[in-house]
Amino acid sequence: MTRIFSGIKPTGHMTLGNYLGAVRQWVAADRTPDDALFCVVDLHALTVEHEPARVRRLSRQAATLLLAAGLEPQRCTLFVQSHVDEHTRLAYLLECTATDGELRRMIQYKEKAAKAQAAGDGVRLSLLTYPVLMAADILAYGAGEVPVGEDQRQHVELTRDLAVRFNQRYGHTFTVPKATHPAVAARVMDLQDPASKMGKSHENGSGIVYLLDEPGVVRKKVMRAVTDSGDDGVVYDREARPGVANLLDILGACTGGDPAALADGYSGYGALKRDVADAVVELLRPLQERHAELAADPAQVDKALREGAGRARELARPVVDRAYEAIGL
């Protein structure tokens, strides 16, 4: 069976975008611990201004939420990136395979570097090399599939390029992975700014639904969502009506319906927003209940992460050792 790998950064509280774009696919994968690996990629949280204690707290919170969302330690390997040294060992070899030019072309690098510069923070070198570490995360496990949201497409393409290049130069070492995206809601947009993705690292949270938002907060955020002007009713048009299309995408992802077909059932934005709010509240309810139970027992979460790291190390070490040998070390 094709092995899958994916990760989430502890840079903020997990959002509805993270869940619909990525985490839900992970839960649905239903595999064994050897062929499904999910990682809280804490090293990636250090690429921008960070608070040490917050990263640690958010890492545990992310792991707790992933378990609450339905990842079961009997059916996948859940671990924290920095607990497994193989990631950084392999990243260096891949840095010797990647070029400066191809990393500077990454869209996320350009956006985040501009933001750091505007804030007067200086651009950390790791922000540039982050996609190489991400490639190492994936290639260390011989993963064939990477279930991610749309925004990670370019980084997975780079991972493929690096794997192919390494294999051509030094002999077959890595599986060449491909990204998989959900059919609906692969890119959930900010409710206040439908031109930007709903991202947990964004500071202004009023257009972002967090997985632990209480029902009243979810409702308020959805009811205040920016919609588009126009008098031709509710239509699904991502270009001309991005705000409404985003709400229809969220509703479709929550209820299993087709967003364009759902539009026909509404004559006004108010009813649509009420249904979106109800659907999101219902989607989050079981996850929040389970999160409350798990948060009361952090030892259980830590145990799952410790065991996960042990298993991940065993899977990654032979691959990374082989890469060291192939490259001439």
Residue 5: helix, strand or coil by DSSP? Answer: strand
CA-to-CA distance for 260 and 219, rounded, in angstroms? 23
CB of 147 to ligand ADP, least distance (A): 7
Residue 139: helix, strand or coil by DSSP? Answer: helix
Site string for ligand ADP, 104-143 (x = CB under 6 A): ----------------------------------------
The tokens describing 242, both together, are 């991005």
**Is 112 marked active-site?**
yes
Q: Which of 110, 112, 178, 221 does the annotation list as catalytic? A: 112
Q: Which of 110, 197, 221, 273 does the annotation list as catalytic? A: 197
Q: Is the separation of the CB atoms in 164 and 189 below 8 Å?
A: no
Q: Is the separation of the CB atoms in 234 and 247 below 8 Å?
A: no
CB of 245 to ligand ADP, least distance (A): 13
Q: Does 11 bind ligand ADP (CB under 6 A)?
A: yes
CB of 321 to ligand ADP, least distance (A): 28
Q: Is the separation of the CB atoms in 63 and 305 below 8 Å?
A: yes
DSSP 52-100: HHHHHHHHHHHHHHHHHHT--TTTSEEEEGGG-THHHHHHHHHHTTS-H
Residue 189: helix, strand or coil by DSSP? Answer: strand
Answer for which of 70, 73, 144, 199 binds ligand ADP (CB under 6 A) is 199
**How far does CA 62 lie from the centroid of its chain?**
11
Answer for which of 22, 135, 184, 277 binds ligand ADP (CB under 6 A) is 22
Q: Which residues pair with 7 in a beta bridge?
A: 39
Number of amino acids touching ligand ADP (CB under 6 A): 20
Task: Report the Cα–Cα distance between both ends of the chain, in Å, rounded.
Answer: 31
Q: Which of 110, 115, 178, 200 does the annotation list as catalytic? A: 200
Q: Does 29 bind ligand ADP (CB under 6 A)?
A: no
Q: Does 151 bind ligand ADP (CB under 6 A)?
A: yes
Q: Which residues of 290-327 are buried (b: 16+ CB within 10 A; e: fewer)?
A: bbeebeeeeeebeebbeebbebbbebbeebbeebeebb
Q: Does 187 bind ligand ADP (CB under 6 A)?
A: yes
Q: Does 144 bind ligand ADP (CB under 6 A)?
A: no
Q: Does 148 bind ligand ADP (CB under 6 A)?
A: yes
CB of 3 to ligand ADP, least distance (A): 17
Q: Does 149 bind ligand ADP (CB under 6 A)?
A: yes
Q: Which stretch binds ligand ADP (CB under 6 A): 3-11, 211-219, 231-239, 292-300?
A: 3-11
Task: Name the site residues for ligand ADP (rule: CB under 6 A).
Answer: 8-9, 11, 15, 17-18, 21-22, 148-149, 151-152, 186-188, 197-201
Q: Give the active site residues.
A: 112, 197, 200
